[in-house]
Amino acid sequence: MKNSLVLLAIGLLVGTLGGTALGYFLKPSEHAIPEQGGDPVPLGTLPAEEPVDADPEPLDSEATKLRPARTLQDFIDEAQIPEIPTGDSAFTGTVVSADGEPLAGIEITASSSYPESRRYTGLSPEERIRQEIRYSKWSEVSKRKGVSHEDGTWQINGVSKDVVYYVSADAPGWSIERKQKHMSRVKPPAQIEFVANPRVNLEVVLRLPDGSTPESGEVRYRSNVERERTSYYRREYSASLNLTPGRWSIDATAGELSEYCSDTITLEVEAGKGVEPLTIQLRPAPGIQGLITLPSGFSTPEFTVYAQLGPDTGPPGDDLPDHRGLLRGGVTYEGGSIRYRVSGVEDGLYRIFLSDSGRILDWGNVVVSDGVAELDLRLPEPTPEDYIVVKVFDPEGKLLQGVDFGLTARYENGSSSSSTRPVVKDDGSYWIRRTAGVSERPVEWYEVRISASGYGQKSVRYEATDTHVLEVHLAVPAVLNLTVPNLQDHPAKARLSWRLTTFEGDSERPHVGRSDPRSRIPDEGPITLGPVEPGEYDLVVSLSGYGYQALELKRRRITMVSGENELTESVPELYRLVVNVETDSKRPDFSIESSEGNLSIRSHDLQVVDGKVTVEFLPAGTYRLVARDGEMEVSVPSQSNVDYKPRPFDCFVLTLRPSDGRIAALGFKDGDKLIEIDGAELENGSAGSMQLQATFVQDSTTWVVLRNGVRTQLTFSGKELYAIMTDPEDGKREWLQMERGMSD
């Protein structure tokens, strides 16, 4: 640990000393320097300093002695680390191989998060060094470690039940994962099971035909049981492949456009045995290449090049053929020239397509012989009929460069969106390729989205029949300074996020937000959101930490004006829900769902400690605990601690799509509750599903449904119902959705 601290501190000291030296050698220029509170005074007119005695009195000789130089070791020894969390709790678990054999000697580590901020703004260089050394010392000594025994069990004692730890296992020659994927960061006590697979690291070096090493490259490797993976090679370091026992196929490419390739190498990896480093010899790769020429005055478009082997006779249409039958090439932009290359070709006739967003801009046929062919391509002269011409101006009327665009084509009952890199003309205009409609539905209008750094995003409507230059004038952007009372002391602070959104139909479009816990909440002062285009937004506060889903806590419509906007918004009250489960039974599999349908938390994503499933933060409301065979309802906060006792489902709730089609003609209505089939009550679980399936092969079957609480008998042909639900014609197929539910 001491060596790593020395290297770290040396780096910081060198940076500090370098800055000091730079400041020493920079001499002031003859500019005016303002006096405190006064007007600038030219350097030549500064008042002279008071004269000093030619023979000053001698100073105390003891005071003039140099202090001993402080060494790096002094910094390390003096650094006091924050308190390390300790307690009387423990982590336990096992480590086994993939075939279930216990493994001994595997090191398990439990690490907690650093308790102090690592933001060093305003600190002196010396204090920064001291803080970085504190962090490095704490990171090392705060780890709690254990080693697995002969029976594969392990235990880490002395951890605090109030602290979240990251628990991991590691050993040379093994790839170790947790069985419980969700238990990477947990509070003790907890039992964690690890599964280890044998693994070796293979170092790979690439060689060009002249014996030199390429700047960069890719090494692809795959086995008969593992999918293909890629390791990226750089001249400064070799590629490293993590291989498990088995037969591996390895090949490599290098060059900006993959101009070099290798033969495929087969390597056998045996469990418990190492492998020697591998040198792969590269050779010129077969390919089709050429130049792409632009019309005069245009630059920086984004192209895609594809190659098709054995094309049909005759010219292509306006759109690319099926991508699955094409080889994609690479494009480079260097020194004003644009080159492309398609690798992985074989001898034969190819058709090369120059494409933008699926539209063919240019094409040509070429014959590959002996693995190499040349074909140049050209972008046709853009026209306003094929492109939308846009000029973007800042609030002062100056043309803006470096603008990003998105384009959405609107047609009857649908739309298609894409990001696009336009062709840029030397007059400052952007030329955005128009996209076609879908399924022969013509585009009615386009939504052009403009994003410029420091201005946010602006959307403009452009009619499909228009050909005029679209001039967009950006307003002075708006910034929201959001004050959240008592935020720094909020227990859920690290899981809260804020964002500004707009809505288009039923689709939410986020504009700006804070999602990283370190960046979304400043140490002090308001949260800043923006800059954005002035206008109406929804301010949304959400709570993360439930898998991939965030729970929306509050939404407020606000109007943003140019400049600074001030707003105060509180966080809704949050509560804890504890669900008591049977500790001697199989771990329950249920989800916690909000009545609004905006949250669904799987119990497997939560900790179970002493037979309790705990959800730390929930807003007030009604929630359903839904399992496969039943559900129960809880109200938060009035029910903060409940026993898990779901009521069994006793019906299927039917949903008809469409609600007035052929299924409805059999007698069904949307919302019917199925409770009985052919005189037998509907069974729970898979048995009920089997009852349903049996009716689909019957000429006549009788179902009993509850309709507005009244028993209603329906007799129909099960075969006919099944035929309607599986009709091969999409326009005639109907849906009968059956969801487990309660009859009352």
pLDDT for residue 738: 86
Q: pLDDT at residue 320 above 90?
A: no
Assign domain 387-473 one CATH number from 2.60.40.1110, 3.20.20.80, 3.40.50.2300, 3.40.50.360: 2.60.40.1110
pLDDT for residue 18: 41
pLDDT for residue 392: 96
pLDDT for residue 253: 92
Q: pLDDT at residue 152 above 80?
A: yes
More confident residue, 46 or 684: 684
pLDDT for residue 438: 55
Helix, strand or coil for residue 506? Answer: coil
CB under 8 A, 24+ apart: contacts of 170-177: 170/106, 170/107, 170/109, 171/103, 171/105, 171/106, 171/107, 171/196, 173/198, 173/199, 173/200, 173/272, 174/103, 174/106, 174/198, 174/199, 175/199, 175/242, 175/244, 176/95, 176/106
Can the peptide bond before residue 637 be classed as cis, meaning omega within 30 degrees of 0?
yes
**Cα separation, 401 vs 429, whole angstroms:** 9
Residue 182 confidence class, pLDDT cut points 50, 70, 90: low
Whether 478-568 shares its CATH topology with 651-741 is answered: no
Domain range list for the chain:
89-198, 200-284, 287-378, 387-473, 478-568, 574-648, 651-741
> Could you tell me which residues are beta bridge partners of residue 206?
280
Residue 525 confidence class, pLDDT cut points 50, 70, 90: confident
Q: pLDDT at residue 97 above 80?
A: yes
**Cα separation, 509 vs 410, whole angstroms:** 16
The mean per-residue pLDDT over the stretch 599-606 comes to 75
Residue 616 confidence class, pLDDT cut points 50, 70, 90: confident
Domain 287-378 has CATH 2.60.40: yes
Is residue 159 within 8 A of residue 87, CB to CB? The reply is yes
Most confident of 407-416, 684-693, 719-728: 719-728
Q: pLDDT at residue 599 above 90?
A: no
More confident residue, 382 or 271: 382
Is residue 391 within 8 A of residue 425, CB to CB? The reply is no
Per-residue pLDDT reduced to its tens digit, 466-477? 999 999 999 999
Per-residue pLDDT reduced to its tens digit, 109-141? 999 888 877 766 667 777 788 788 888 888 888
DSSP annotation of 323: G
Is residue 271 within 8 A of residue 199, CB to CB? The reply is no
DSSP annotation of 595: T
Question: How many CB atoms sit inside 10 A of residue 341's CB?
Answer: 19
Q: pLDDT at residue 514 above 80?
A: no
More confident residue, 600 or 688: 600
Superfamily for domain range 200-284: Immunoglobulins (2.60.40.10)
pLDDT for residue 291: 94
Is residue 204 within 8 A of residue 277, CB to CB? The reply is yes
pLDDT for residue 469: 96
Q: pLDDT at residue 36 above 60?
A: no
pLDDT for residue 13: 40
Question: How many CB atoms sit inside 10 A of residue 621's CB?
Answer: 14
DSSP annotation of 116: S
pLDDT for residue 22: 32
Give CA 277 to chain center in angstroms.
Answer: 34
Specify the range with the lowest mean pLDDT, choosing from 143-147, 254-258, 509-513: 509-513
**Cα separation, 554 vs 573, whole angstroms:** 11
Which CATH number does 89-198 carry? Answer: 2.60.40.1120
pLDDT for residue 32: 37
Per-residue pLDDT reduced to its tens digit, 702-716? 999 999 989 999 999
Residue 2 confidence class, pLDDT cut points 50, 70, 90: very low
Residue 741 confidence class, pLDDT cut points 50, 70, 90: confident
More confident residue, 91 or 517: 91
Stretch (H or E) spanning 686: helix 686-695
Q: What percent of the chain has pLDDT over 70?
A: 82
Q: pLDDT at residue 552 above 50?
A: yes
Is residue 280 within 8 A of residue 366, CB to CB? The reply is no
Give CA 578 to chain center in angstroms.
Answer: 31
Between strands 377-378 and 287-293, the pairing is parallel
Q: What's the topology of domain 651-741?
A: Pdz3 Domain (2.30.42)
Whose tokens are 């202090």? That residue is 67
**Cα separation, 424 vs 345, whole angstroms:** 33
Q: What percent of the chain has pLDDT over 90?
A: 36
Is residue 429 within 8 A of residue 469, CB to CB? The reply is yes
Which CATH number does 478-568 carry? Answer: 2.60.40
What integer best gives the mean pLDDT of the chain? 81
Helix, strand or coil for residue 562? Answer: coil
Is residue 496 within 8 A of residue 550, CB to CB? The reply is no
Residue 422 confidence class, pLDDT cut points 50, 70, 90: confident
Is residue 423 within 8 A of residue 379, CB to CB? The reply is yes
CATH architecture, domain defined by 574-648: Sandwich (2.60)
pLDDT for residue 503: 66
Whose tokens are 């099926």? That residue is 322
Per-residue pLDDT reduced to its tens digit, 427-439? 999 999 887 655 5
Per-residue pLDDT reduced to its tens digit, 272-312? 677 889 999 999 999 999 999 988 888 767 788 999 998 88
φ, ψ of residue 676 to 5 degrees: the values are: -150, 140
Residue 162 confidence class, pLDDT cut points 50, 70, 90: confident
More confident residue, 181 or 740: 740
Per-residue pLDDT reduced to its tens digit, 327-386? 999 898 877 789 999 988 999 999 999 987 778 889 999 999 888 899 999 988 899 998
pLDDT for residue 30: 38
pLDDT for residue 318: 81
Helix locations, 59-173, DSSP H: 72-78, 125-141
What Cα–Cα distance (Å) separates residue 603 from each residue in 473, 580, 589, 600, 692? 51, 12, 6, 10, 29
What's the whole-model pTM score? 0.55
**Cα separation, 275 vs 549, whole angstroms:** 43
Question: What dihedral do alpha carbons 270, 274, 279, 281 form, nearest 10°?
Answer: 0
